[in-house]
């Protein structure tokens, strides 16, 4: 059982700034996103983490996550498709307001899903794969990925349905840690952006 799984959302991109759904489109980091990734790396290489010696690192293959990983000082990470962002299908690149124009004013991604894209259950199955891998390790693991997949991963770590992820906000270049309390899955830290202050 892994002592912890550390989650990093990629740094700022143009689409994360404008609120556009960014699934499989390979939108690059902005200069600000690169700065954020470097600050996160500096934090993880200081006490109490000290570079996380012995940590196993995996990253989404999309460039915004891979580059965040590299700039944070973990360039030897294994690329893993399970960490890719939700495939938003017809909603790719659209803001929630634009999607509501198409799907109705009460559209809510965690309830209604996406048109012509990946069902939430499939996102959850990928998150479950990551949870299973993390729990089988005998050391900390570190993953670099995207907002929605990491939120679903958090929900599944805790044993909740994937829609619980609606309650787990994640900002760009945030650090979250999932671990254990009294033998049960627990959140140790969530959406921590203290390194950006």
Catalytic positions are 10, 85
Residues 6+ apart with CB under 8 A from 43: 49, 175, 194, 195
Q: Rounded to whole angstroms, how far apart are CA atoms 86 and 89?
A: 9
DSSP state of 180: E
Residues 6+ apart with CB under 8 A from 49: 43
Among 16, 36, 19, residue whose Cα is nearest residue 28: 16
Residues 6+ apart with CB under 8 A from 59: 65, 66, 68, 69, 74, 77, 78, 79, 80, 83, 143, 144, 145
DSSP state of 85: P
- C-alpha pair distances (Å), 176 with each of 39, 46, 77, 88, 112: 15, 16, 18, 24, 27
- Residue 60: enclosing H or E segment and its boundaries? none
Question: What does the block give as tokens for 66?
Answer: 């891979």
């Amino acid at each position: 059982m892994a002592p912890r799984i550390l989650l990093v959302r990629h740094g700022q991109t143009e689409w994360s700034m404008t609120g556009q759904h960014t699934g499989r489109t390979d939108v690059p980091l902005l200069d600000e996103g690169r700065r954020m990734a470097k600050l996160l790396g500096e934090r993880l290489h200081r006490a109490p983490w000290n570079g996380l010696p012995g940590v196993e690192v995996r990253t989404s293959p999309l460039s915004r996550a891979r580059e965040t990983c590299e700039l944070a000082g973990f360039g030897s990470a294994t690329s893993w498709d399970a960490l890719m962002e939700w495939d938003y299908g017809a909603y790719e690149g659209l803001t929630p307001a634009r999607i509501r124009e198409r799907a109705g004013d009460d559209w809510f991604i965690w309830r209604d899903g996406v048109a012509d894209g990946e069902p939430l259950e499939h996102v959850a199955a990928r998150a479950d794969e990551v949870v299973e891998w993390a729990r089988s390790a005998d050391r900390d693991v570190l993953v670099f990925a995207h907002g929605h997949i990491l939120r679903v991963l958090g929900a599944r770590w805790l044993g909740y349905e994937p829609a619980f992820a609606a309650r787990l906000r994640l900002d760009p270049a945030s650090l979250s840690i999932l671990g254990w309390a009294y033998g049960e899955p627990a959140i140790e830290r969530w959406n921590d952006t203290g390194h950006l202050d």
